[in-house]
Amino acid sequence: MVTVRAPATSANLGSGFDVFGAALGRPADVVRVEKADRTTIDVTGYGSEFIPEDPDANTVGAVAEALDAPAHIRIDKGIRPSSGLGSSGASAAAAALALNELYDRGLSRRDLVPIAGKGEATVSGEVHLDNVAPALLGGFTVATGRDVTVVDADIPLVACLPEIAISTRDARDVVPAGATMDQLVYTVGRAATLTTGMCRDDPRLVGKGMHDRLVTPARADLISGYNEVREAALAAGATGVTVSGAGPGVLAACYPDDRHDIASAMVGAFSEAGVDARAYQTKIGRGATLYPDD
């Protein structure tokens, strides 16, 4: 048996739509694999009742097929599906790393990124690497095509997850089809600011660079109470706030000592909007962890 823990991730980070991603210290999925004649899947944990166990409809089934590595795969979900925290990406990344080890395929983590991306396409309908790249490689990632750049950043974060479900496909439907030149220039400037902040471990620059006028406003409309939650987080000390991935998760960058107050403020603001929520006080973390011969 091989066991892998893969972290939650936050994609886009506001200004980096389909490009930026970050691994979070928590929460995480745990995937265990054993060799078998055919692939079977068991899912337990947070939101498991909403995840299909048919290998043809599950992210890890696609990964097993891509690696030609049939296995009995057990997924313990710590990341709720349809959360905006890379739930499907974490399972796909964990399965890719575990099956590569189980069958001694000899692939590097970078080699496994597009394979895990194929798995995530089972859910999203398209291959995107902005969740699976940080889930496998850790840190802050910039994915452009098949190329991935990794920055080992150290930025405190709060991820707040309301009890609202938004599918990736639905969230992509509201993304504007085009952008004006002014919007493009603004986004490039913010993305450059955020990247500089990651390279400098500077929460102020990262938060400033999260602001986006194109994709985030459209997705924010799908999240009840988003504007109030954002304002509450900023008032509590957040340096920047944005929708995490496709939502409904909301991500705040901050300084370490402000995490508790920000988490409380975000949960409280969702509560005032009539939405239950939980918050994870975390930071940018490492990629999937392998535990062989468990």
**Beta-strand pair 140-144/20-35:** antiparallel
Task: Write down the catalytic residue from 168, 187, 216, 282.
Answer: 168
90 is in an annotated binding site: yes
5 is in an annotated binding site: no
244 is in an annotated binding site: no
Task: Write down the catalytic residue from 120, 187, 195, 282.
Answer: 120
264 is in an annotated binding site: no
82 is in an annotated binding site: yes
84 is in an annotated binding site: yes
242 among known catalytic residues = no
26 is in an annotated binding site: no
88 is in an annotated binding site: yes
134 is in an annotated binding site: no
65 among known catalytic residues = no
Active site residues: 120, 168
Which residues belong to the annotated binding site?
80-90
Which residues belong to the annotated binding site for ATP?
80-90
